[in-house]
Structure formats: C-alpha cells, structure tokens
Amino acid sequence: MARSLVERTLASVTHTLEQTLFAEDIARQPGVLQSLDPRVKLVSVLALLLAVSFARNLWVIAGLYLLVLSLAWVSRVPLGFFVRHVWVALPFFTGLVALPVLFNVVTPGAPVLTLWSNPLIAITAQGLRAAAFLILRVGTSVSLAILLVLVTPWNTLLRALSVLRVPSVFLLILGMTYRYIYLLLKTASDMFEARQSRVVGRLQPAAQRHLVTNTMGVLMSKSYGLSQDVYLAMLSRGYRGRPRTLDRFTMQPRDWLWGAAALSVAVVALWLGRG
Amino acid sequence: MLLSLLPLPTTMSVGANMHIPDGYFGPLFSIALWIIALPWLGLATRQLSRQLNQRMVPLVALFAAFSFVIMMFNVPLIGGTTGHAIGASIAAIVIGPAGAAVAVAIALLIQALFFGDGGILAYGANILLMALIMPYTAAFIYRALGGNTLISDRRRLVASFAAGWASLSLIAGLAGIMFGLQPILFHAADGTPLYAPFPLQVAVPAMLIPHMLVASVIEGLVTAGILAYLQRGNPELLEVSLKPGVASRLESARLRPLWIGLAALVVLSPVGLLAAGTAWGEWAAEEIADVVGYTPQGLAATQTWSAPLPDYAVHGLNANLGYIVSAGLGIGLTLVVIWVIASLLARRSAAQKS
C-alpha cells in the first residue's frame, strides 16, 4: 500500500501545519514557562544548551535532561508527546548512526562484550560511552530547543531575538517569512491536490519528478511575483526601509529570578561537567 | 543529517537533510564556525541591500519561505527512492548568491528555532555550509558553465544540474571533514570521543559517497527541473540576477581562465602523493644535513616555529587522507584571505571613485 509521492508530500505539508498549530495551543496554556518574559527564556535556553554542549560527564547531561522534563511538566506540555516527539523524530537516526560506534572497529578501547574473537569484534567501553554521549547530548539539546518553542508563541519569540542583537531588518524578514511559509504551503498543497484529483493510476518516476519540479517552478514564480506585490503594499503603507515594532517587553521581578536561577544551573552544570 | 550513513531500503526517503543537530560538534568548534559565517552573511546582506534597497525585505522573505517549503517536497529518484532538495542552488541561480544566502539562512533559522530541525549552537555550521558555501559555489559553477548563452539555451540545463550536484557534494564532503575532526579535537583521557565519534577516514566517505550518488543527484535534478520550467514558463525570472551584476559578470569573465587553471591545479594536487622526495628548495634542516653534511647555523636558529599541521599531516589520520585534508584546508584558507583582501581593495577603489 505504497502511497503515491503526491500523497506523501501532501501528508508532510499537513503534518507541518498541524504541528505548529498544536505548538501554539500549548504556548497559550497557563503554565510556568509561558508566563515568563521571552527574552529570559531565550537566554536561559542558550545558557543551558552551552552547558549541555561543554559537559564531559554523562551524569551532568542526564541531570539537565531531567531538568528539561520537569520544566516541561510544570508548563503543561504533555510529557508523552514531548518525549516521543524528540526521541522518535530526530535522534532515532542519531541512534542508528551511533550503532557502529559501539564496536572496536570504529572506537578502539577496552572490550566489554566480545562477539567474535578472530578477527576481534567487540563492543568497547569507549564505544558505549561515545554512543551515550552522542545520543544524550543530541536528545537533550533538541528537547531544550523544542521546549522553548512549545511554551512561547512564535511572534513573541521572534521579537525576543532582538535581545541577541539580531538586526531589526532580519526580524522583519523572519516574521514575513513565517507568515508566507503558510501561504506557500497552502498553495503547494492546493496544487498537489488539484493534480492528485486528475491522476488515475501511478505515474512513472520521471513523470512524478517532472510534476514535482514544475510545481516548484510555479511556486518560485509565484513567490517572486508576490514579493513585488508585497513591496508595493509596504510602500503604500509608508515603509521607508526602517522597520518599527510596537511592543515593549517589561521584566518582572520573577523574570529576573527565573533568569538568575537558570544561569546559576548552567554555571553549576558547566563546573560539574568540566571533568 | 548523517541519514545517508544508513543502508538504503528502496522505499525510504533519503536526503539532503544536511541539518546538523546540536551535540555533534564541540562547543568551541561551533563557535569558530559562527565566527566565520556571520561576517560573510553580513557582507552578503550588505551587498544585497545595496542592490535592492527596500525591495530586499519582501524578496528575501518570499524566497526564504520558498526554500523552506521546497525542502519538504519528496522528489522521486529511481525504484521508489525519494529525497529532499535544499534548493539553495536554484535560488542562487535565480536571485544571485547573496540573495540566496540570506534567504536560506532565514529558512534555516526558522527550522532550527521553530521546528527543532538543525541545532541552535550548530546554526553557524549549518549556514556556513548550506546558506553560504553552497549558493556561492552553485552560482559560480552555473555562470562558468552557462557562459553567455541565451536564457533558453540547453547548455544552461547542464550547467544548473552541475551546479546543484557539485555544490551539495562539496558541502557534504566539508561536513564529513567537520565530523571527522571532532574525535581528533575532542576526546576524553581514555580516548572516548565526546561528540561526533567517527574518524575522518569513515566520516568523509560516509558523507560524500551517498550524497554524490543520491542526494546531490536529487539536488541537481531539482535545480535543472525548475530551470527548465522557468525557461518555458517564466524566462524573465531567469534574467533577474543578471541585471544588477552586468559589470561584475564581465570582470569575472576576464578572470575565468585563472579560475580554471586554479581548479586544474587543485585536481592535480594529489599527484603530490605520488612524487618521491621533497620539493627543491623546501628542505628541512635534517635533509640539508644529509645533503650538505651539516646544518647551517642560521637555519638551525629558524627551526623554532612549528606549524599547526607539520608536514601537511593531520594527527591521528592516515597520511594520504591527511595530505588531502590539509590541501583542502590550505586552499580554503588561501581563498578566504585573497577574497578578503580583494574585497577591501574593491571597497577602497569604489570609495575613491565616488
């Protein structure tokens, strides 16, 4: 029951749309992290990511992962979804990649489990630890990044980037891009659906490829045309090359408190993990 | 990412999903790549805003959205194998490398921040490979091979396929080198690799070969397929990138023989592995002692500096591969230095003119 290519593309487009809608839903829940200033969340996540990245001790990374899980829990992120989303989607492949690392062929070291003695094929202690480092580090880093976006509405997170001195013109482009991704996804999805409704049987790979690249070509032409229209619309509304935003974030005492706590955890983790 | 290391069942989607997650690179390595990528991206942005003024914002936003969306399309290859394209090469051909660089960088930032696809600390590495090296290489190859032919010329199809295939293969190889450097640079006292664990002689072929055979072919087919569509359906769009840069195109045409010569030298450089002995005049102190019978005092006094890659060898590597890696790094560094000097000179002469 191999699905056609068009159906698969349609499914992945729909999946992306659903995924972000779900994320926005969580970001509106009255959880702990949702109530914090987005800049505090962004800087804290960066500090914790650095701590995960620098750690030379597996227990420190594991501890940071538990911290991420408990933060997700107090922020009403469904834990089953959160864990599955992170570990199944991305590091599943990391896990497969890490498999050959276990063996002495790739990672020489002290054999723990000998599978074959001549020539020697064994799982080494170094290999086990290397695989554990890779999987834990990737999983924890991805969890941190996903948690940030789950508890922060995207436009708020976008504006929080200004705290990292991202130029305002980039923020403007980022916001527009995010908006137009949905429009283009919708357009692409409509084009595939229109085509799908006219297809009987299966297309040969060459014909499928033709279909896909032509769709991309149309989409590119539309993008370019649309960019001209958007430019005129911006001009007519008084755009002069200098983006302006309305909102000002204000730091509450609890924001400072949470920020300080996150930074201290990161510093302690850096110190413990230096080994 | 690294997906291409897997054995490929025929119905699996493989891909140019090169997005490097956090955890594969040591933090200092990631920071170093940020330091290389950000000024380059800044220069591209400045060049773009000089060309387009206020038009830049909507153009880049729409092309960033476009690159994001086409990265999700399944492209069929053969026997049920499908994959994803990055699309940086077709964007570079249509709106020029600077526009493609900023657009792809924005698309990658949205993927890293909002979809957890590609790391946040590794964002520097991801933009360096996919948003900078890839579109600039693709645009260069397309212009060099496409020449001054008409927009509708079939030669441009070949040029665009080559641009997509070669630019993705190049960054796959570079990513392989970056992965392979990790166990050399970062390991625990007992030899446990702390980040990406594969040594260079595994990582480079594991990234390079499947990409050259599958993902880069998809990138090439997508680039040529979109170009073919635009040649029929919207030829004006293919002239967009040519308009502002006519003068620079003439200049690069004059330099083309030099680039071709340089490329030939690069390709020939592994011949150095076959040659015996040392290049004339590049004797080390010991070799001089062998030939002349003693070490001149002045020479002995100069032997205090030790190069980061002595004898072009990378520690922990098989000698030939180390030689090739050193050659690649050397060429890259030289080009970067020349490019920086050239752009400084160009800026000065532009300032004098105005």
Q: What is the pLDDT of residues B99-136, one digit of tens each?
A: 999 999 999 998 888 777 788 999 999 999 999 999 99
Phi-psi label, residue B107: left if phi above 0, alpha if psi -120 to 50, beta otherwise: alpha
Sheet strand arrangement including B75-76: B13-15, B82-84, B75-76
Give the pair of three-digit tokens for residue B207. Answer: 């990234």
* Structure-derived torsion over alpha carbons of residues B312, B315, B316, B318, reported in degrees to the nearest 10: 10
Give the pair of three-digit tokens for residue A178. Answer: 């995010």
**Range ranked top by mean pLDDT from A11-15, A112-116, B210-214:** B210-214
Q: Which residues contact B196 (CB under 8 A, 6 or more apart)?
A: A134, B24, B25, B179, B180, B182, B183, B203
The length of chain A is 275
Query: What number is the ipTM of this complex?
Result: 0.88
Of B58, B77, B109, the CB nearest to A176: B58
User: Helices marked H in B116-234 — which ranges?
Assistant: 123-126, 134-146, 155-185, 200-210, 216-233
Q: In 3-state terms, chain B is what percent helix, strand and coil (to 5)?
A: 70, 5, 25
Q: Residue A48 to residues A54, A142, B330: CA-CA distances in angstroms?
A: 10, 12, 35
Give CA–CA dist A215/A230, Å, rounded: 22
Q: Do B64 and A138 touch (CB under 8 A)?
A: no
Predicted confidence (pLDDT) per residue in A55-114, tens digit: 998 999 999 999 999 999 998 888 888 888 787 765 556 666 777 788 877 777 777 777
Buried b (16+ CB within 10 A) or exposed e, A208-241: bbbbbbbbbbbbbbbbbebbeebbeebeeeebee
Q: Which residues of A touch B11 (CB under 8 A)?
A: 2
Give CA–CA dist B53/B136, Å, rounded: 21
Residue B139 confidence (pLDDT): 94
Asked if the model's pLDDT at residue B277 lies above 50, the reply is no
How far does A99 lie from chain B, in Å, by closest CA? Answer: 11
Domain boundaries, chain A: 1-14+165-244, 29-152
Give CA–CA dist A49/B285, Å, rounded: 48
The length of chain B is 354
Of A141, A181, A188, the CB nearest to B23: A141
**Range ranked top by mean pLDDT from A150-154, B112-116, B313-317:** A150-154
Give CA–CA dist B314/B204, Å, rounded: 14
3-state SS string for B48-106: HHHHHHHHHHHHHHHHHHHHHHHCCCCEECCCCCEEECCCHHHHHHHHHHHHHHHHHHH
Give CA–CA dist B238/B143, Å, rounded: 12
Q: Residue B101 to residues A204, B86, B98, B113, B139: CA-CA distances in angstroms?
A: 34, 12, 5, 18, 11
Give the pair of three-digit tokens for residue B210. Answer: 């499947």
**How many inter-chain contacts (A to B, CB under 8 Å) are there?**
270
Give CA–CA dist A97/B6, Å, rounded: 7
Q: Which residues of B touch A101 (CB under 8 A)?
A: 193, 197-198
Give the pair of three-digit tokens for residue B1. Answer: 């990412």
Contact, B61 vs A180, CB < 8 A? yes
Q: Do you find a cis peptide bond into A119, omega within 30 degrees of 0?
A: yes
Residue B10 confidence (pLDDT): 29
Asked if the model's pLDDT at residue A263 lies above 80, the reply is yes
Contact, B144 vs B259, CB < 8 A? yes
Of A13, A183, A214, the CB nearest to B229: A214
Q: Which among A104, A105, A99, A106 is positioned nearest to A124, based on CA atoms?
A: A104
Phi-psi label, residue A120: left if phi above 0, alpha if psi -120 to 50, beta otherwise: beta
Of A93, A173, A209, the CB nearest to B60: A173
Give CA–CA dist B279/B23, Å, rounded: 42
- Average pLDDT for A166-183: 86
Determine the residue of chain A that is closest to B188 in CA distance. A56
Determine the residue of chain A that is closest to B120 in CA distance. A145
Q: Which among A139, A160, A165, A138 is positioned nearest to A149, based on CA atoms?
A: A160
Give CA–CA dist B341/B347, Å, rounded: 10
Other Cβ atoms less than 10 A from the Cβ of A113: the count is: 12
How far does A118 lie from chain B, in Å, by closest CA? Answer: 22
* Structure-derived torsion over alpha carbons of residues A257, A261, A263, A268, reported in degrees to the nearest 10: 160
Q: Which residues of A touch B193 (CB under 8 A)?
A: 101, 107, 126, 130, 133
pTM assigned to the model? 0.77
Asked if the model's pLDDT at residue A198 lies above 80, the reply is yes
Average pLDDT, chain B: 75
DSSP SS3 for A199: coil
How far does B195 lie from chain A, in Å, by closest CA? Answer: 6
Other Cβ atoms less than 10 A from the Cβ of A21: the count is: 9
Q: Write down the residue that tokens 């005092």 correspond to.
A: B297
If one compares B227 and A124, the residue with the highest pLDDT of the two is B227
Residue A123 confidence (pLDDT): 85
Of A5, A154, A217, the CB nearest to B233: A217
Buried b (16+ CB within 10 A) or exposed e, A155-190: eebbbbbeeeeeeebbbbbbbbbbebbeebbebbbe
How far does A1 lie from chain B, in Å, by closest CA? Answer: 12
From A118-122, A231-235, B16-20, B51-55, the region with the lowest mean pLDDT:
B16-20
Q: Which residues of A touch B116 (CB under 8 A)?
A: 86, 89-90, 142, 145-146, 149
Pairing outcome for strands B13-15 and B82-84: parallel
